Structure 1
Amino acid sequence: MKTGGGVMSKVVGTAVVLAILVIVVKHPSDAANFVKTVFGWIDQIATFFMRLGD
């Protein structure tokens, strides 16, 4: 059974994490607004599907 990923996937994953960290450090209020917006969308989608079952 293969564990872990290839070198390229680790490099890409590290680059993504570093990019997110840089964005959060350089623009914390924009990053916070983005996260609030995404969680708002998730909440709206969840509410939509819960109301479908009613």
Structure 2
Amino acid sequence: MAKNAIPGFKTGGGVLSKVVGTAVVLAVLVIVVKHPSDAADFVKTVFGWIDQIATFLREL
């Protein structure tokens, strides 16, 4: 049995899953390159949401 290159991730998989994964990565890369400020604002917003959820859970 071979070891996984990255722990927690399967190295196998079907062709369709690899194609979809590659397409998603390329789409994100294109968006970041074409619209870097919008991408940065989106990431800041998402991390703000995560911080708010963590604060809420700590308050429970």
When normalised by structure 1's length, the TM-score is 0.90
RMSD of the alignment, in Å? 1.5
Identity of aligned residues (%): 88
Alignment pair present for 1:50 and 2:53: no
Higher helix share: 1
After TM superposition, the runs of 4+ consecutive aligned structure 1 residues lying more than 6 A away are none
Aligned residues: 52
When normalised by structure 2's length, the TM-score is 0.81
Q: Which runs of 5+ in 2 are unaligned?
A: 2-9
Question: Which structure exhibits the higher relative contact order, with contacts defined as CA atoms closer than 8 Å and separated by 6 or more residues?
Answer: 1
Letter in 1 for 2:14: G
